[in-house]
Structure 1
Amino acid sequence: MTITAAHIPAIVALIAGILILIMPRLLNIVVAIYLICIGLIGLGVLRFLHL
Structure 2
Amino acid sequence: MVDVVAIQPLLALIVGILILIVPRVLNIAVAAYLIVVGLLGLFPGLLG
Q: TM-score, normalised by structure 2?
A: 0.66
| 8 Å contact kept, 1:19–1:26 | yes
- SS in structure 2 at match of 1:46: coil
Task: Report the counterpart of residue 22 of structure 2 in structure 1.
Answer: 23
- 1:1-51 paired onto structure 2 within 5 Å: 3-43=2-42, 44-47=44-47, 50=48
Structure 2 residues not aligned, in runs of 5+:
none
Q: Figure out how many residues of one structure are paired with residues of the other and give that number.
A: 47
The unaligned stretches of length 5 or more in structure 1 are none
- Scaled by the length of structure 1, the TM-score of the pair is 0.63
CA RMSD of aligned residues (A): 2.0
Q: What percent of counterpart residues are identical?
A: 53
